[in-house]
A and B are shown apart, each in its own frame.
Chain A
């Protein structure tokens, strides 16, 4: 079993910000809105975990998810489509 790392509130906030920043980079309006919504929901749901082990588990999973988000946000910017009718130019 891997060792449990402690994470401060500052770390969590930085992770949260990083999620939001990458989610907002999506070129596609629907994906962008979805991942912003999902990030807010996920962090809110896990707001009250206090167990260090669980926090670390959440952190490790989030790191993997963040890597996916980063890659996909970048790919999404490589192919350009028109904006949808609900998006301001």
Chain B
């Protein structure tokens, strides 16, 4: 059942040099040398007459700039729409404005307590700490700066059990956690700790009675993420916190995707440790924070030892520019929270409605307990990677950025009980503060086109349309 492609249909979507090329691997390789060209024009004369003077050339190294059948692409730009806000977000110009002070004048070491250069930087760092703490209702003294959420997750998941290792030997986490949590837990297993990986239900949420049953006498830490990075579901933090407090177990939550996006209160939710990342909230990359509760005190063994900065939990000179950029980003999430929330919800609903109106699509993860800025949708009978390849003009991902180089289906979707085909055909859309309605309209129409096109290529789709149940077919092996 080989489907014949009419060449002109093909050329509508792929430029001529691709058609007929047998080695598809080249296609795959070009994905990584994608489409951005950057010109630096630092001369001041350009500042005033910077009305754009680009010629509409295709970007270098990208032979596959896909053409939209319905409009003249020569009239439009070439840079893809950015819809991968779970991987990272652009730095807000107001954050950059804050950071530039530290690269131009405020260069003192915040730990230098003998002179004014140190004092002025320290003052700014403390202001940032306060802003960051305020978002989650914490005390500024409970915020420890780190290099990012991965370091924080390592610090918490290895640090707490190591400190209490004489009496406690068990930690609990979930199957859908981020790779850095799972990998840290695996390291602990090598050190002789027991780890329970809680399963999740088909909505992506953990079952509270399973959590309670899993807690043992020697359990010292429960680590459950707040918002999942692939499917955007929000775990019942308040209930988990209650259970942990009742059994006197420390509760760590990976809040990288949740901080500044959903309401969080460490005291209300009984959270003892929280990982926070700056570059998910329009701050700079390379900085994050750890919330470590002081009352009741949480003790952990530091990974990095040295000068005793940050309460001795994370030694090393702070990067004031990054830290204060992070602080400003945190302040902005509070100042802009209502506007952002309204905007993201509106665009998210539009996107979900637009995409689910395509037949044989489904939203992954709980439809209710979710952060609207993360939308994960499966397109049946299509390979997710081939859809991504066909969507050069939209920057998307089929899952976490850490695993986007491999073609393995997502372990998160597997944990939800999705089969291989479904896990392979899912795509994650990330909407943020700077996404526009125009972009969402473009995305909906582009995906509609490409999904139809790719399905037309698929023999499976033909069978589905003929009403053949695919599960009833006995595929012959080679």
Shortest A11–chain B CB gap in Å is 24
Q: Which residues does chain B contribute within 8 Å of A26, judged by CB atoms?
A: 93
Q: Which residues does chain A contribute within 8 Å of B40, judged by CB atoms?
A: 78-80
- For residue B3, CB closer than 8 A to chain A, the reply is no
A76 and B93 CA atoms in complex are apart in Å by: 9
Contact B96–A72 (Cβ < 8 Å): yes
A75 and B73 CA atoms in complex are apart in Å by: 29
Contact B438–A81 (Cβ < 8 Å): no
A38 and B436 CA atoms in complex are apart in Å by: 12
Q: Which residues does chain B contribute within 8 Å of A81, judged by CB atoms?
A: 36-39, 79
Which chain B residue has the least Cβ–Cβ distance from A31?
Answer: B93
A35 and B336 CA atoms in complex are apart in Å by: 12
Contact A86–B81 (Cβ < 8 Å): yes
> Contact check: which of A28, A30, A38, A85 meets B339 at CB < 8 Å?
A38
Which chain B residue has the least Cβ–Cβ distance from A33?
Answer: B436
Contact A85–B442 (Cβ < 8 Å): yes
Contact A71–B97 (Cβ < 8 Å): yes
Shortest B20–chain A CB gap in Å is 26
A31 and B35 CA atoms in complex are apart in Å by: 20
- For residue B184, CB closer than 8 A to chain A, the reply is no
A30 and B54 CA atoms in complex are apart in Å by: 18
Q: Which residues does chain B contribute within 8 Å of A74, judged by CB atoms?
A: 47
A76 and B435 CA atoms in complex are apart in Å by: 18
> Contact check: which of B75, B79, B435 meets A82 at CB < 8 Å?
B79
> Contact check: which of A27, A68, A78, A88 meets B76 at CB < 8 Å?
A88
Contact A27–B81 (Cβ < 8 Å): no
A61 and B361 CA atoms in complex are apart in Å by: 47
Shortest B396–chain A CB gap in Å is 13
> Contact check: which of B50, B73, B438 meets A27 at CB < 8 Å?
B50
Contact B80–A85 (Cβ < 8 Å): yes
Contact B339–A80 (Cβ < 8 Å): no
Chain A positions 1-47 with a Cβ under 8 Å from a chain B Cβ: 26-31, 33-35, 37-38, 41
A77 and B37 CA atoms in complex are apart in Å by: 15
Contact A78–B75 (Cβ < 8 Å): no
Total residue contacts A-B, CB cutoff 8 A: 108
Which chain A residue has the least Cβ–Cβ distance from B446?
Answer: A85
Chain A positions 53-89 with a Cβ under 8 Å from a chain B Cβ: 68-69, 71-72, 74-89
- For residue B393, CB closer than 8 A to chain A, the reply is yes
- For residue B407, CB closer than 8 A to chain A, the reply is no
Q: Which residues does chain B contribute within 8 Å of A28, judged by CB atoms?
A: 90
Which chain A residue has the least Cβ–Cβ distance from B393?
Answer: A85
Contact A41–B339 (Cβ < 8 Å): yes
Contact B76–A30 (Cβ < 8 Å): no
Q: Which residues does chain B contribute within 8 Å of A85, judged by CB atoms?
A: 73, 76-81, 393, 442
Of the listed residues B77, B336, B439, the one surrounded by the most CB atoms of chain A closer than 10 A to its CB is B77
- For residue B82, CB closer than 8 A to chain A, the reply is yes
Q: Which residues does chain A contribute within 8 Å of B50, judged by CB atoms?
A: 27, 77-78, 80
A81 and B77 CA atoms in complex are apart in Å by: 10
Contact A82–B54 (Cβ < 8 Å): yes
Of the listed residues B47, B74, B393, the one surrounded by the most CB atoms of chain A closer than 10 A to its CB is B47
Shortest A16–chain B CB gap in Å is 17
Q: Which residues does chain A contribute within 8 Å of B354, judged by CB atoms?
A: none
Q: Which residues does chain A contribute within 8 Å of B39, judged by CB atoms?
A: 79-81
Residues of B within 8 A of A (CB): 35-42, 46-47, 50, 52, 54, 56, 59, 73-82, 90, 93-94, 96-97, 336, 339, 343, 393, 433-436, 438-439, 442
Q: Closest 10 CB pairs between A and B?
A: A83-B77, A72-B93, A30-B434, A77-B50, A82-B79, A80-B39, A85-B393, A84-B79, A87-B77, A33-B436
Residues of A within 8 A of B (CB): 26-31, 33-35, 37-38, 41, 68-69, 71-72, 74-89
